[in-house]
Amino acid sequence: MSINDIQDEIIEEFSLFDDWMGKYEYLIDLGKNLPLIDERYKDEEHLIKGCQSLVWLHAEVKDGIVAFTADSDAIITKGIIALLIRVLSHQSPEAIANTDLYFIGRIGLKEHLSPTRSNGLLSMVKQMKLYGLALQAK
Amino acid sequence: MEVSTKIERISAADVARIRQDFPLLAQKMNGKPIVFLDSAASSQKPNKVIDAVSDYYRKLHANVHRGVYQLSQDATAAFEVGREKARAFINAASSSEVIFVRGATEGINLVASSFGRKFLRQGDEVVVTAMEHHSNIVPWQLICEEKGAFLRVAPINDAGELIMSEFEKLLNDKTRIVAATYVSNALGTVNPVAEIVALAHARGIPVLVDGAQAAPHMKMDVQQLDIDFLAFSGHKMFGPTGIGVLYGKEKWLNAMPPYHGGGEMIKSVTFEKTTYAELPHKFEAGTPDISGVIGLAAAIDYIQEIGQDAIAQYENELLAYATSRLKEVEGIRFIGTARYKASVVSFIVEGTHPYDVGAILDKLGIAVRTGHHCTQPLMDRFGIPGTVRASLAFYNTHDDIDRLVEGVKKAVSMLR
């Protein structure tokens, strides 16, 4: 599936929730259920430090496809990470570098990606795109 | 709120009237009436302050200390009335000891830089406490690094109280200054300032007090406490952002070199030699924040109309109520359980992250602060990433606390 197909799919899923509480409960479930990163990558090298929460990000490339794994100490942050990974992982470096992440605004979670939240998510997205750019250049 | 005599005790009816003075408190956040519990970060503003600033720009604005014309002299007079009110607010001996700065942070930077440049030598020591805000750590680190001096940190106990015996042990003949907060922004601990000053002065060491969190909640008497430097911010005490006060004893301020150079702070300038103006102008380079001073003066008036004793008493009762009601939350751990506290309740709930709790409270219309509160060393001391912090002002009600408690319970049930 292309990045935009996945984004549209998530937008579709979130349209089922009629208030914030449903969305948050879904994110919390995502955050609780998914093992997102190998414990050995939860180190200083993979850490993106936000003021509010911590995020760890690891990237692996196989056959020109990038696989991301990530984690956070905060569960809502982790739920959003699960969505970001669903969208950006297992894609080509080019697609990752050039993507426009419109789904996050459309599902009403834009505030979690604002610089003032300082939860590490915005830096994580930047880092993911940087990986895409760097690998594309190779 | 216009009252002819000071209130002895703030009643629920008084708070309802007080709330009418704060237009922002009538707003909604995420569709719900706002519960504002982040006054320790910045308080809301009463109409009296908003009107004073706006009236100044409409009717009185001209640069101060410059013009011979009437308008400039009127603006200067209003500005200097502000200085006099700030002097009286902290009971300084002279208004020349009251320097207007952008806030407590700038005040501390001024002292660290200027006092440090003059008095710190290689191998000297600066003593701070483990509960300081970054703004009372980093300026000292900068000057210590420059001078080859060392920062010494007085430890706290598990309740978040300064361990006085350990503090005393750190004072020696290399200690040049002690910098300590009056009230901890993250824990609410009220430090024994008089005792800190007495121990330091017994060894001839001056003391800087960070009064940012104390100013809105209690009387600070620099003469009674014998404080050498006191810094506080207008925006935490119902005044405008961008204005604050640095108090310094005249003997220190006279001995210190200027911090910033520019207009207003000079006596005469030639390319060979510049001589500096008298206090307080020596430390006020450039056009000051005139509207900020006028807004701050209005905030001081407002606080004094309600009465600082009544404010402290009301807030202490509200804090006790908040603490006792939050105990209903299963798995709650209070961070900061000092015997003497002011207006801050900081906590974490087992099995939840502060960010998640804060994000859910936001959706419920409740404004709290989450994170490390610019006190990373303090969070490390307690071995936690941060806390949820509710901070109170006299415009908060029991109803605000009830909604907080319900909100936290809701967040916990969603997160666990």
CA atoms lying within 13 Å on the CB side of residue B225: 27
The alpha-carbon gap from B413 to the nearest alpha carbon of chain A, in Å, equals: 10
> What φ, ψ does residue B213 adopt, rounded to 5°?
-85, -20
B414 touches chain A (CB under 8 A): yes
Task: Please name the residue of chain B whose CA is at the shortest distance from the CA of residue A27.
Answer: B415
Q: Using a CB cutoff of 8 Å and minimum separation of 24, what contacts does B190-197 make?
A: B190/B214, B190/B218, B190/B338, B190/B340, B190/B341, B190/B342, B191/B129, B191/B131, B191/B162, B192/B162, B192/B164, B192/B340, B193/B225, B193/B227, B194/B224, B194/B225, B194/B226, B195/B164, B196/B162, B196/B167, B197/B225, B197/B226, B197/B227
ipTM > 0.85 (yes/no)? yes
User: Is B356 in contact with A75 (Cβ distance < 8 A)?
Assistant: yes
Q: What is the pLDDT of residue B6?
A: 61
Mean per-residue pLDDT of chain A: 90
pLDDT at B5 over 70: no
B70 has pLDDT over 90: yes
Nearest to A53 among B353, B363, B414 (CB): B353
Q: Mean pLDDT across the stretch A52-77? A: 91
Residue extents of the structural domains in chain A: 3-137
Instruction: Among B370, B372, B385, select the one facing A73 at the smallest CB separation.
Output: B385
Mutate to test the interface with A, among B32, B356, B388 (most CBs of A within 10 A): B356
Q: Is B12 exposed, middle or buried (0-12, 13-18, 19+ CB in 10 A)?
A: exposed
- Are the Cβ atoms of A51 and B371 closer than 8 angstroms? yes
Q: Is residue B146 classed as helix, strand or coil in its secondary structure?
A: helix
Tokens representing B292 are 């900020």
Q: Do A112 and B414 touch (CB under 8 A)?
A: no
Q: What would the pLDDT profile of B110-142 be if each residue is shown by its tens digit?
A: 999 999 999 999 999 999 999 999 999 999 999
Which residues from chain B sit within 8 angstroms of residue A76, using beta carbons? 355-356, 359-360
User: Would you state the structure tokens that stand for residue A94, as one six-digit string?
Assistant: 């080019």
Query: DSSP per residue over B126-139, as a string?
Result: EEEETT--GGGTHH
Do A117 and B370 meet the contact criterion of CB atoms below 8 Å apart?
no
Same fold, B12-33+307-411 and B51-304: no
Distance from CA of A25 to the nearest CA of B (A): 7
Q: What CATH class is the domain A3-137?
A: alpha beta
Average of per-residue pLDDT across B294-322: 97
Looking at residues B157-177, what average pLDDT do you find?
Answer: 98
Say which residue the tokens 């200067």 belong to: B76
Domain B12-33+307-411 has CATH 3.90.1150.10: yes
- Which helix (H) or strand (E) is B276 found in, with range? strand B274-276
Tokens of A134: 């760097």
User: Could you say which of B110, B243, B277, B374 is catalytic?
Assistant: B374
CA distance B359 to B370: 9
B401 contacts: CB under 8 Å, gap ≥ 6: B318, B321, B322, B325
Look at residue A120 in the predicted model and tell me its pLDDT: 80
Active site residue B144: no
Closest CA–CA distance from residue B415 to any residue of chain A (Å):
7
How far is C-alpha A20 from the geometric centre of its chain's CA atoms?
19
Instruction: Give the residue extent of every domain in chain B.
Output: 12-33+307-411, 51-304
Asked if A20's CB is within 8 angstroms of B363's CB, the reply is yes
Put simply, the answer to whether A77 touches B355 (Cβ < 8 Å) is: yes
Q: What distance in Å separates the CA atoms of residue B101 and residue B230, rounded to the nearest whole number?
A: 12
Please give the average per-residue pLDDT across B346-363, as a whole number.
96
> Would strands B244-248 and B266-269 be described as parallel, antiparallel, or unpaired?
unpaired
Chain A: closest CA distance from residue B407 (Å) = 13
Question: Distance between CA A126 and CA A97 in Å, rounded?
Answer: 9
Interchain pair A118, B386: CB under 8 A: no
Beta bridge mates, B35? B366
Reported as a single tens digit per residue, the pLDDT across B212-245 is 999 999 999 999 999 999 999 999 999 999 999 9
Give the nearest partner residue to A74 out of B353, B363, B414, using CB atoms. Answer: B353
- Assigned CATH class of B51-304: alpha beta
pLDDT band at B4 (very low <50, low <70, confident <90, very high): very low
Please tell me if residue B371 touches chain A, with a CB cutoff of 8 Å: yes
**What is the Cα–Cα distance from B59 to A73, expressed in whole angstroms?**
53
